[in-house]
């Protein structure tokens, strides 16, 4: 049979169209934007029974709190990811002669680039504003509670590498500037942080990190063993921080999640060692989330030891302190964009130094609207 005869017996097959280019939009399907934003407003009322964190004369007051948040993010369709978070919080105490308000603000932005399947980098900037009574026992390396106004500026650059099966490491140098109102002294702080972790199971993870930082103060002076300032001296701290973190999802739907942390911190001054301290900390969070409910319970224990700071003149015993914190958060979605929430905080600071420990309870409830 000739080739022409064979062709006559072959059934006609219509020509197939080439598939559309992945770079062109497909008719009838919505176009996914790389950029998006979420805004929320939150309003609540509650009561705090020790607004000044006083050890001797606790004073309570009802309060109202309003908060606004904004999140802007870019989806990493091309390996470049961006997210920014802005938050402002205003708390007004209605029946307190000691503290009338608390103001807090946070601005955070991160740019992240995935260079390959294994390598990524990120650049993060952060600003924090505080105007409230805070516990500065870690920041000042001595038990201290003060009403402060502060500005914190921080920048971090991170390099992350995935290796083996689900393992990763990350190196993150950082630089922070802390500005306080008088009488507190301002300082710089910077140093590297190294983290190693492994992912497993249902988006669970175990990681360990170590951070070394150096903190020189602008004008603060060293203290000798007799708790007297050394004229003309310059104070700086060298700090070591290590932490083990375990995040685990307990069921396939990931309704139950726990986060456990164990940390150790030591700080050494560049003088006689008056401000040296050691701190152990452990915390545990249990969270259950199943629409429309989201409930979490968090506990934290911290133990401080200041080996060269006596509890009082004539008493050489070193200052020791223990902090206990419990938090219960309950949240329920009422509509697609509205949530009701309840927060309860229980805090105790126990110290062997007279008039330094305190107790505080706080509860508040309100509504959050997202748009």
Helix, strand, or coil (residue 5): helix
Of 59, 56, 42, which is closest to residue 361 (Cα–Cα)?
59
Of 326, 319, 324, which is closest to residue 356 (Cα–Cα)?
319
Q: Which residues pair with 266 in a beta bridge?
A: 240, 278
Q: Give the number of other Cβ atoms within 10 Å of residue 291's Cβ.
A: 8
**φ, ψ (nearest 5 deg) of residue 4:** -65, -40
**DSSP labels, 56-116:** SS---EEEEEEEEEEEEEE--TTSEEEEEEEEEEEEEESS-SS--EEEEEEEEEEEEEE-S
**CATH number, span 57-370:** 2.40.160.40
Tens of pLDDT, residue by residue over 100-125, are 999 999 999 999 999 999 999 999 99
Tens of pLDDT, residue by residue over 256-288, are 999 999 999 999 999 999 999 999 999 999 999
- Residue-range domain boundaries for the chain: 57-370
Tens of pLDDT, residue by residue over 42-67, are 999 999 999 999 998 999 999 999 99
**Mean pLDDT computed over every residue of the chain:** 91
pLDDT band at 313 (very low <50, low <70, confident <90, very high): confident
Distance in angstroms (rounded) separating the CA atoms of residues 133 and 103: 10
Tell me: pLDDT of 307 over 60: yes
CA–CA distances in Å: residue 243 to residues 202, 206, 279 = 22, 11, 12
Tens of pLDDT, residue by residue over 193-229, are 999 999 999 899 999 999 999 999 999 999 998 889 9
What is the structure's pLDDT at 1? Answer: 39
């Amino acid at each position: 049979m000739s080739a022409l005869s064979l062709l006559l017996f072959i059934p006609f097959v219509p020509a197939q169209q080439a598939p559309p280019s992945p770079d062109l939009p497909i008719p009838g399907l919505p176009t996914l934007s790389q950029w998006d934003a979420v805004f929320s407003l939150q309003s609540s009322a509650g009561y705090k029974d020790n607004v000044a964190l006083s050890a001797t004369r606790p004073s309570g007051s009802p309060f109202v709190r309003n908060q606004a948040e904004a999140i802007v993010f870019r989806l990493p369709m091309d390996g470049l990811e961006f997210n920014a978070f802005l938050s402002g919080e205003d708390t007004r105490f209605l029946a307190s002669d000691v503290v009338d308000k608390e103001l807090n603000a946070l601005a955070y932005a991160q740019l992240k680039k995935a260079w390959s399947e294994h390598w990524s980098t990120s650049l993060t900037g952060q600003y924090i504003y505080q105007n409230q009574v805070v516990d500065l026992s870690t920041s000042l390396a001595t038990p201290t509670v003060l009403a402060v106004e502060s500005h914190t500026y921080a920048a971090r650059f991170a390099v992350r590498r995935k290796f083996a099966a689900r393992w990763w490491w990350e190196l993150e140098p950082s630089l922070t500037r802390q500005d306080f109102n008088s009488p507190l002294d301002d300082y710089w702080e910077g140093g590297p942080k190294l983290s190693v972790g492994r992912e497993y199971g249902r988006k669970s993870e175990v990681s360990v990190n170590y951070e070394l930082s150096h903190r020189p103060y602008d004008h603060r002076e060293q203290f000798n063993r007799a708790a007297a300032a050394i004229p003309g001296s310059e104070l700086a701290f060298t700090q070591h921080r290590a932490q083990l973190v375990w995040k685990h999802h307990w069921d396939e739907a990931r309704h139950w999640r726990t986060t456990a942390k164990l940390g150790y911190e030591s700080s050494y001054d560049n003088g006689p060692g008056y401000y040296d301290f050691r701190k152990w900390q452990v915390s545990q969070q249990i969270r259950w989330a199943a629409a429309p409910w989201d409930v979490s319970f968090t506990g934290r224990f911290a133990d401080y030891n200041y080996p060269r700071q006596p509890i009082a003149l004539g008493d050489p015993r070193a200052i020791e302190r223990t902090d206990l914190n419990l938090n219960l958060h309950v949240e329920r979605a009422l509509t697609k964009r509205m949530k009701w929430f309840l927060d309860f905080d229980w805090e105790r600071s126990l110290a062997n130094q007279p008039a330094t420990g305190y107790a505080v309870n706080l509860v508040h409830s309100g509504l959050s609207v997202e748009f």
